[in-house]
Structure 1
Amino acid sequence: MNRAPLSLLAVAVALTAVTGVASLRPGEGEAAPVADRAPVPVERTVLTCPRPTGAESGSTVYTAYTPPTDGAAERDGDDGEDAGPSAALLPAPEYLPGDEEGGGAAGGGEAEPVVPLTEPGTPVSARVDDADAPALSGTAERELAPGWTVQQTTVVGSGPGSGVLGTACQAPDTEFWFAGASTAESRSDYLHITNPDRAATVVDIVLHGAEGPLDSEAGQGLTVPGGASLPVRLSTVSPEPQTNVAVQVTARTGRIGAQIEAVDQQLGADWLAPAAAPAGGPAVLPGIPAGTRSVRLAVYAPGDEDVTLDVGLAGSGGTITPAGYEAITVPAGTLTAIDLENVTRGEPGSLVLTPAEGSGDGRVVAAARLTIGEEDEQEMAFVQATGPVGTRASAAGNTASGTTLSLFAPGDAVEVEVTWSAGAEGGESVSETHTIDGRTTLTLTPELPEGAEGPFAVTLTPRGGTLYAARTLAVDEDGTAGWTVQTLPDDRSTVAVPETAPDLSILMD
């Protein structure tokens, strides 16, 4: 006799509860698709950084920064007290197959965090002189997550690979593509794979040369324990020496970070970052510095159709077709490399590779090895095809005397706000607005207010239009001079989320 009243009460409670349940099923008259939503700041960002270097004379500076973001979620403290650093990197121990001691849970146990960040808008910097310094991985949460960026800059004073190596720590993913790596005898290229998660993952590496894939089982089924980093010398993946190769890295489960440490016996060393591979649009390589002595362009076509690319060079006065390098044809599934001697004629610029009509989706993986300097004092750096700045992009680790920005507008003119942050050791931020004329590249150097000390960050915020950007960092430390280039794609600081609304119809399913 009491069951009916209890059932009615349960239904009433359920009806009350579901009026607050989100319905994500669009119907007539309901809100627009997710893509049309106003973006909101992300609340969690994960980054991985490769092992800096194995050189005894290496010294690495890490600089972390999160730009201020309107609407970013604040940290939750304990009884009103600060809950501690919400953005920090922790060691990811190196793992070699058969090394049962390698690896470990993500987060590095009780290890001390590197460059812990406690507030947006102020960079934090730290120097590491340990030749055995490990790879790093870490997480930024709540208001420190949107746009969290970490620059890793290493100076090697002597020996093979001496010079400057620079890279921005990267967000993990399931697949990465590289162009411009090498298994030649003059190169010692290492692919560094970092697993930021607790579960182990299995990774496949495939090399592609001028004739297609380089058959090898050595790069298949490589296990990377949770929280560990695995270095793989590319010449062990395919024993046949190749001057130029493209590299495909795929995680069968989970996600990874992947970057290539390229070391040349004559040209020093630098990091080769993954390339963006846009479909249907141009591949843009911004940030070729003034004074570049040579440009070796490597392009891989991953699709089933040959791709012909019209070559453009965008300088301060407009975009031209360089004489002798008007177009490049890349057979499907192969890599093509060409030396663009004196293509910039001493001027800074951006390379633009536009698919010609009839080239399928036009998707390519492209990067360029740049050399600068004279005779036996030349050093190399890399710039890869990248995505546009989008909503916002930042680069940390800048120095007052060694930083140059390259900004390229492929279409109409673009107005961009450039904000130079305070230094890690003091100062205040300063913002300025610049206009980049259509189809031109504008170069900028920082003008900092008095009192700015230590490494600082730069943030780009376009006001409409499409913008590509890169930062060149020249370093001269203790007699070792060198340079490195990092592109500045969108920082993925926001995400579109669906609107929610009460939906009683879920009780009818």
Structure 2
Amino acid sequence: MSRATASARIVIGAVVSAAAVAAVVGAGAAPWPAVGTAAPSTDVLPAPAEVLLACDGPLLALARSAEDAAGVSAAADAAVVSGDAAGEPLEQGELTLSGVADATAPLFRRSPEGRESVPAAAASSVTARDMDLGGFAASECRAPQMESWIVGGDVATGTTGILLVANPTDANAVVSLDVFGVEGVTTPAGADAIAIPAGAQVPIPLAGIAGGEEAPAVRVTAVGSPVRVTLQSSIVRTLEPGGIDLQPAVAPAATQVVPGVNVTPEASEGENSSGLIRLLSTSDATATVTVLPEGGGVPVRAPEQVALTADQPKSADLGGLPAGRYTVLVDADQPVVAAAWQATGFGPGSDYAWYAAAPPVERATLFAAPDGPNPRVSVYNPGDEAATVAVSGDDGEQSLEVGAHAFASVALPGSGLYTLDPGGSAVHALLGFEGGSVLAALPITQDASTPQPLTVYP
């Protein structure tokens, strides 16, 4: 082989090697063809479950007997409205009331019909006119949960609070109570394992677990079986009853909506002006509180930023608002729980209500309106477009036009079963009662009887 031939082969080999390297580098830089496939999945519709609704039962009183200062007794019976979507009566049972003689609380069931769910609803109301209890309160009969948050009540002089923890299932439950206050979160002695027997409701005095907390929040965590939690509260001012309330549990969320807070003419004037919203986050957070008037989306005052310290409840003032109805919005950078407090005044015969944050309602939902003065549904629309919401009952249908980021309300003809249809939007709704010195409110909770599709990955 000549020297020229050998040199040519060396040059050609170098060129080929360089080309190979370039091809490898180029292949690494260029997009590779997709060879994978999406994980197989299927949408499965679960079988509908039985509807299980537990009611609060009679209004309870503490320490009415001189022989038993810690005793609990029934003070006033509740009136209950219940039924299913067809107007048929529900199967009714009873919850025993632990430590309360000759008293029970209603329990309602509605089984599905084959693969079809049957919406059901129930609610109760109660009026008291005693020396130590006076006012009006209303409450939705609700399904039990594994975790419940109560944001309300206090243990100041003249106030009374009772946690009503009910287990409407057939299995025993054990609950733990965590109290959030000025020092953060604590679990009081003996509150880490409270037995709630199957088919029973246990009243737990708030003063026994919240100590000297004037603005507490309580988390109830259940094991073994879910429970339903309500806070019954009352106040006496200088020997005159100043109102009663039944407050439902709420769930944490970064956005909370409290629609339909009613400021009466008496409560908007001078020293009777009152109102607040209590907030809690388990993390340091910043919450913005906005107050919207009925019929419009323009705040009545500049939004207020509230700095929250982890595990410490904090209140923002809502006093000084003109008479009317309002929606209170809370937007936070961490999940919070929230409830607003409003009173009709501070004199004899006054009343108050805790307005719990209302969850979103995205589909037609059956709800019960118990007996009470001037029932009214308030609806807030968080969407960017106006929503048409229908409220229908035995007396016909009412259509409610709710603007974007605004709220509106409609009066109901009386007690009974109603359906709220958000018309394809997601709204927040509350049923309120008002009249003279009466205030009461209960959020409208989305119908849980209809199962939603689940995506299953084999």
- TM-score bracket, normalised by the shorter chain, equals 0.7 to 0.9
1:41 CA displacement: 8.4
Unaligned runs of 5+ in 1: 1-26, 70-84, 97-101, 103-130, 423-428, 449-453, 501-505
Matches within 5 A, 1:337-348: 337-343=315-321, 345-348=322-325
SS of the aligned residue for 1:489 comes to: coil
Aligned to 1:59: 77
8 Å contact from structure 2 (residues 358, 443) kept in 1: yes
Q: Deviations over 1:339-368 (max 9, x none)?
A: 32123x11211100112xxx3xx2001111
Q: Which moved more, 1:163-172 or 1:54-63?
A: 54-63
2:313 aligned residue (325, 332, 335): 335
Aligned to 2:280: 300
Aligned to 2:48: 42
Q: Deviations over 1:210-233 (max 9, x none)?
A: 331135213121111111111100
1:147 CA displacement: 2.8
Aligned to 1:76: none
1:156 CA displacement: 0.8
Distance 2:47 2:405 in 1: 31
2:261 aligned residue (260, 284, 288): 288
1:483 CA displacement: 2.8
Matches within 5 A, 1:106-505: 132-142=102-112, 146-238=118-210, 240-266=211-237, 267-279=242-254, 282-291=255-264, 293=267, 294-302=274-282, 304=283, 306-323=284-301, 326-343=304-321, 345-355=322-332, 359=333, 362-373=334-345, 375-398=347-370, 402-411=374-383, 412-420=385-393, 422=394, 429-446=395-412, 455-474=415-434, 482-497=438-453
8 Å contact from structure 1 (residues 313, 319) kept in 2: no
Q: Deviations over 1:140-162 (max 9, x none)?
A: 11259633111110111222221
1:440 CA displacement: 1.4
SS of the aligned residue for 2:390 comes to: strand
- Percent of aligned pairs sharing the same letter: 20
Distance 2:247 2:138 in 1: 9
Q: Deviations over 1:28-48 (max 9, x none)?
A: 7966444xx6xx883411111
Aligned to 1:110: none
Distance 1:497 1:317 in 2: 36
Distance 2:160 2:179 in 1: 15
Distance 1:274 1:464 in 2: 26
Label 1:236 to 1:258 Cα distance change in 2 as closer, same or farther (>3 A): same
Label 1:230 to 1:400 Cα distance change in 2 as closer, same or farther (>3 A): closer
What is the one-letter code of the residue matched to 1:349? Y
Distance 2:177 2:117 in 1: 31
Label 1:498 to 1:296 Cα distance change in 2 as closer, same or farther (>3 A): closer
Unaligned runs of 5+ in 2: 1-36, 62-73, 268-273
Q: Deviations over 1:56-94 (max 9, x none)?
A: 66232100032249xxxxxxxxxxxxxxx8723322112
Q: Deviations over 1:193-246 (max 9, x none)?
A: 1111222211111110133113521312111111111110011114x3111100
Number of residue pairs matched by the alignment: 395
What is the one-letter code of the residue matched to 1:440? A
Q: Which has the higher strand share?
A: 2
8 Å contact from structure 2 (residues 400, 409) kept in 1: no
Q: Deviations over 1:109-131 (max 9, x none)?
A: xxxxxxxxxxxxxxxxxxxxxx9
1:88 aligned residue (78, 86, 91): 91
Distance 2:392 2:197 in 1: 40
What is the one-letter code of the residue matched to 1:141? S
8 Å contact from structure 1 (residues 198, 226) kept in 2: yes
Distance 2:435 2:198 in 1: 35
Aligned to 1:113: none
Label 1:218 to 1:182 Cα distance change in 2 as closer, same or farther (>3 A): farther
What is the one-letter code of the residue matched to 1:395? F
SS of the aligned residue for 1:236 comes to: helix
Distance 1:284 1:499 in 2: 29
What TM-score do you get using the length of structure 2 for normalisation?
A: 0.79
What is the one-letter code of the residue matched to 2:204? V
Label 1:400 to 1:209 Cα distance change in 2 as closer, same or farther (>3 A): closer
Label 1:146 to 1:328 Cα distance change in 2 as closer, same or farther (>3 A): farther
8 Å contact from structure 2 (residues 171, 224) kept in 1: no
8 Å contact from structure 2 (residues 432, 440) kept in 1: yes
SS of the aligned residue for 2:160 comes to: coil
SS of the aligned residue for 1:237 comes to: helix
What TM-score do you get using the length of structure 1 for normalisation?
A: 0.71
What is the one-letter code of the residue matched to 2:250? A
Label 1:132 to 1:185 Cα distance change in 2 as closer, same or farther (>3 A): farther
SS of the aligned residue for 2:145 comes to: coil
Larger Rg: 2
SS of the aligned residue for 1:188 comes to: strand
Q: Deviations over 1:244-281 (max 9, x none)?
A: 100000112211111111111132211011113124xx
8 Å contact from structure 1 (residues 135, 194) kept in 2: no
8 Å contact from structure 1 (residues 276, 386) kept in 2: no
